[in-house]
Structure 1
Amino acid sequence: MKTAALGPAERTEALARLTAPGRELDVLVVGGGVVGAGTALDAVTRGLSTGLVEMRDWASGTSSRSSKLIHGGLRYLEMLDFALVREALKERGLLLSRIAPHLVKPVPFLYPLRHRGWERAYAGSGVALYDTMSVSAGHGRRLPLHRHLTRRQALRVAPALRREALVGALQYYDAQVDDARYVATLVRTAAGYGAQCVNRARVTGFLREGERVVGVTVQDLEERDGRGGFRTHHIRAKQIVNATGVWTDDTQAMIAERGQFHVRASKGIHLVVPRDRIHSSSGLILRTEKSVLFVIPWGRHWIIGTTDTAWDLDKAHPAASSADIDYLLERVNAVLATPLARDDVEGVYAGLRPLLAGESDATSKLSREHIVAHPVPGLVVVAGGKYTTYRVMAKDAVDAAVHGLDIRVADCCTEEVRLAGAEGYHALWNARARIAGRTGLHSARVEHLLNRYGSLTEELLELIEREPRLGEPLPAADDYLRAEIVYACTHEGARHLEDVLTRRTRISIETFDRGTRSARECAGLMAGVLGWDEPQIEREVRHYEKRVEAERESQLQPDDRTADAARLGAPDTVPL
């Protein structure tokens, strides 16, 4: 496997190959979230000619707006969904130990106990079962086992907790990931094995021959035709996989097929606050009346979430309302000695979970399990599931697609496929002090790069060697080096300023200015790669500033409808 770059030239070449006259792929995947990217990697590593198209940016929907956890789902044990938990724990172990150790990291959680006696026995037995299932599922030994803590011990771990908020605690381990970075790495890995991957390519319809689906019509949202519209292409494929998440029903409507199931959207919002606002060496998991609330360590920050409410408004830009923010602050402040205020919130983001619609009106009771269907010949639909189990969903989707192919196809092998940057990561991590000495970067900078790029860090170091100023941090977001902005465009498929500030980095939620102070400098760094002139730089910056303004306004609104209306005040980077 070679390391694939996803720069402008590679995108152009991939689109040309997908749309070449007479070309017919084995599998075309529609949707560039974690499931779609995982499906493309599964298909191409079975030897199938594979394409992947995404309407916006990689992971621009649900897959960049999760709680950023790789976990089995402790609360599903309480629902007696043992199969789902065991499956997720196996995947967690694979991601930690083999597939992506540079991206997926252990994280401790403290569960405060509010009642004496019965609660410790009840919760303790659940966490013990969680650990046992993890070990039995394989690869679980990479995480420490849970432990019981007295109140005094718990307050040493998390001094931020109010003494009267707990009588003791349990501590256990799960894992976390930068969800958008993981998807971008999945796409690069698939491209390295030969998949043709194109973002900003919108599917507008399906090609049919009789009942059978034989391809799609796509608009290249980065190129205009002579009449001012988007250039249109046809991509033909023997099997098409619809992996569009919360857009599943909309995509199905293009072929006038309602499908065998429906997908409903559940909104979850998260707050980001500085690390010094909560004094703790461990994450927290708290019970609420509806679900659970996580306080998750995130570099120099905490992520607090999430909510779980039905959403039937704009799917591209779900909005967090003032009521959503107040809900999270009220729940977390119930256990904190020093309450958080609105002014402590650096960032807010909202995402939509694709849930399989069921009998219940409560989204928290809809299925997190996935389903695969073959509604018409030539088309496979995959929906539902959890981020952690994306690889299983991808395997099932490709298995279904293989049934429609008249060739012998190898079994899934992604359990053994390391993502780009994983090979050699541990050796480089062990040599990080030497790398720091060789490059002149601080060892903390080298660790930051290794935990974002793994062994691909060498490619960023080469950029810095050629142009030393790229080794300097961004003045208004000094966690990130200038080289990371350039690399996002040359190697990771970033096409617009928003892609870099919200997904290739997390500047949009990790700074109080939401990235506006970094916007112009980042646009200038991107311009050299993407060929922007000064008016284009100005358009990108202005668009991003309007996005931030609209998000801030939406977060002052009292409910979903007013928040949605305010958020829609900022148009898409490329109006659709």
Structure 2
Amino acid sequence: MSGDGVVSGARLGPAERAANWERLGSEEFDVVIIGAGVVGAGAALDAVTRGLSVALLDARDLASGTSSRSSKLFHGGLRYLEMFEFGLVREALRERELMLTKICPHLAKPVSFLYPLSKHVVERPYVGAGLIMYDSMGGARSVPGHKHLTRAGALRLVPGLKRDALVGGIRYYDGQVDDARHTLGVARTAAAYGALVRSSTQVVGFVKEADRVAGVHVMDVETGDRTTVRAKVVINATGVWTDELQRLSGGRGRFKVRASKGVHLVVSRDKITSESGIILKTEKSVLFVIPWKAHWIIGTTDTDWNLDLAHPAATKADIDYILEHVNKVLAVPLGHEDIEGVYAGLRPLLAGESEQSSKLSREHAVARVAPGLVAIAGGKYTTYRVMGADAVDAAAEDLPGRINPSCTEDVPLLGAEGYKALVNQADRLGKQFGVHPYRIHHLLNRYGSEIHELMAPALEDPSLLQPLPGADDYLQVEALYATTHEGALHLEDVLARRTRISIEYAHRGTETAPRVAEIMAGVLGWSDEERDSEVKAYLARVDAERRSQTMPDDQAADEVRLEAPEIRDLLKSPVA
């Protein structure tokens, strides 16, 4: 704990990475968690703040899978009301409220949605009744309650809609978050409280003692080095990889996970004239048009995916589906040429409960699949904190003595403490750092009260205050901080997750890659050859993604996407 009351120790740089490798091979941990998506990170923070020793490991990057490719919402799940999942909605709304007000107000913000009504008489009372319930369950605490609008009122709010696409509307609010930065924040907060957090660290086997799991064998994906990590209990929080890790452990799973692909498009804000997001009902589910800084995120799809889990590919059919549905209501239709970014993610959905002993709740399942091994899967991003606590509760059976109850609802993430005061001081901070106050607001909404640590190097080297080439929203100091403090090891870690340059700019990061590689090389000690190799690999990734998005089906898109090299080239199949 530092003198100003802020927890310290969250730096994830090269020196910490090396020290953590030594710790992995020499310490026994209470809990080892496999998978540094939001659920694994949430479980790590939950466990370490209960007083347990924790190691959080991921074969790739923090939030490299589902947790950086969501709809970027903290929401109660309005559609679950139709399924009578009232408990799930109430719980999700409570979590949304915690995120907006206490846990990460610097990252989570209210967002407005218009629900266009297309039918006279019957639709308004039906949808309105659902939103009354939504608000009364907790949906209107720190955000405004829903409001009924006439057609004229709805069109004033969203002039970009066709007049004949609606007869009226209802406006309501939910929460929004940068999912990758939030997951990173959860993981770094866990590290600040003492958890060992290490990416590019793949579990390649399990330590067995009789019928018990007693740890894991791991490989450093960057070097090929191997070591054995001892643990009292291991938590499998690998999402769509749950079944593969279960097979690697040699045991039989208590539930199955299937991957469902969700595709989102990113278009410039000026392509749709609107002061609000939009939610549209489709024949299968719902389609969101979500304000995202200077852009709109439009999605999503929901289709089974049985191919490469690390790099799900969007197809032309996916993109056409989204465009077709959103264009039904837009006065000025969107075309392929309007799309600046595309991303595809995989939802880990429970395929069904197979045994009485697994616990299904809140759309997620937790099971003690063997002595010393717990698995958690399913769920939704909004309820990650509850899922993490449930996983640690299940792990308690393998830990000696009574463990403390979960306290994460009272643990703000790094950057949250003091954030609101700093917002009020934006003009003064702008003068202090020599940047425009609007830039300070942008940084505060990404780093919160860590802004002083972020900007410290720029006080000595003002050139770091220049924007990154081709990405005016981001400063060069952010690429440096991503590498010194946020655990970035590769170019795509910075361009796709520490920043969102890969989806927010039409060039998808290709214009920015050389300069970011230079900055990273200075921290990570890359040779000129290694630096050039990183740039080449990133350009190949972008090219493969672009070409995959012109393919007619999943099989063809997957084959094209996999033509790009895996930058973490030592990665092995979990069941190899």
TM-score of the two chains, using structure 2 as the length reference? 0.96
1:227 maps to what in 2? Answer: none
Q: Structure 1 122/77 Cα, relative in aligned 2: closer, same or farther at 3 Å?
A: same
Of all paired residues, the percent bearing the same amino acid is 61
Aligned equivalents of 1:124, 1:313: Cα separation in 2: 41
User: Post-superposition shift, 1:200?
Assistant: 0.1
Unpaired runs of 5+ in structure 1?
224-229, 360-365
Aligned equivalents of 2:463, 2:521: Cα separation in 1: 16
User: Post-superposition shift, 1:256?
Assistant: 2.0
Aligned equivalents of 1:379, 1:474: Cα separation in 2: 44
1:115 maps to 2:119:
yes
1:54 maps to what in 2? Answer: 58
Aligned equivalents of 1:66, 1:439: Cα separation in 2: 33
The aligned amino acid for 2:442 is H
Aligned equivalents of 2:130, 2:273: Cα separation in 1: 27
Aligned equivalents of 2:386, 2:362: Cα separation in 1: 13
2:145 maps to what in 1? Answer: 145
The aligned amino acid for 2:302 is D
Unpaired runs of 5+ in structure 2?
1-6, 354-359, 572-576
1:231 maps to 2:225:
yes
Is contact 2:9–2:194 with CA below 8 Å preserved after alignment? no
TM-score of the two chains, using structure 1 as the length reference? 0.96
User: Post-superposition shift, 1:12?
Assistant: 1.1
Aligned equivalents of 1:407, 1:10: Cα separation in 2: 31
Aligned equivalents of 2:471, 2:28: Cα separation in 1: 45
- The number of equivalent residue pairs is 558
SS at match of 1:60: coil
1:85 maps to 2:79:
no
1:7 maps to what in 2? Answer: 13
User: Post-superposition shift, 1:19?
Assistant: 1.2
Is contact 2:31–2:235 with CA below 8 Å preserved after alignment? yes
Q: Deviations along 1:107-132, whole A, 9 cap, x unmatched?
A: 00001000011100000110111011
Is contact 2:269–2:294 with CA below 8 Å preserved after alignment? yes
Q: Deviations along 1:341-382, whole A, 9 cap, x unmatched?
A: 1000000000000000039xxxxxx99711110011000101
Aligned equivalents of 1:466, 1:357: Cα separation in 2: 54
1:270 maps to what in 2? Answer: 264
Aligned equivalents of 1:489, 1:176: Cα separation in 2: 26
1:481 maps to 2:475:
yes
1:317 maps to 2:321:
no
Is contact 1:357–1:367 with CA below 8 Å preserved after alignment? no
Aligned equivalents of 2:298, 2:252: Cα separation in 1: 36
Q: Deviations along 1:118-168, whole A, 9 cap, x unmatched?
A: 100000110111011016xxxx52100010000101111110000000000
Aligned equivalents of 2:276, 2:42: Cα separation in 1: 31
Any residues of structure 2 matched to 1:275-290 within 5 Å, and which?
275-290=269-284
User: Post-superposition shift, 1:203?
Assistant: 0.4
Is contact 1:249–1:258 with CA below 8 Å preserved after alignment? no
Any residues of structure 2 matched to 1:301-312 within 5 Å, and which?
301-312=295-306
User: Post-superposition shift, 1:3?
Assistant: 4.7
1:453 maps to 2:447:
yes
1:384 maps to 2:390:
no
Is contact 1:356–1:368 with CA below 8 Å preserved after alignment? no
2:80 maps to what in 1? Answer: 76
The aligned amino acid for 2:209 is E
Q: Deviations along 1:294-316, whole A, 9 cap, x unmatched?
A: 00000000000000011111000
Pick aligned residue for 1:293 from 273, 287, 296: 287
Aligned equivalents of 2:258, 2:252: Cα separation in 1: 13
The aligned amino acid for 2:102 is R
Aligned equivalents of 2:346, 2:20: Cα separation in 1: 30
Aligned equivalents of 2:242, 2:511: Cα separation in 1: 37
1:166 maps to 2:160:
no
Aligned equivalents of 1:165, 1:7: Cα separation in 2: 52
SS at match of 1:373: strand
Aligned equivalents of 1:202, 1:2: Cα separation in 2: 27
Any residues of structure 2 matched to 1:151-190 within 5 Å, and which?
151-190=151-190
1:540 maps to what in 2? Answer: 534
Is contact 1:367–1:384 with CA below 8 Å preserved after alignment? no
1:407 maps to 2:401:
yes
SS at match of 2:405: coil
1:432 maps to 2:426:
yes
Aligned equivalents of 2:119, 2:189: Cα separation in 1: 48
Aligned equivalents of 2:18, 2:9: Cα separation in 1: 18
The aligned amino acid for 1:54 is D
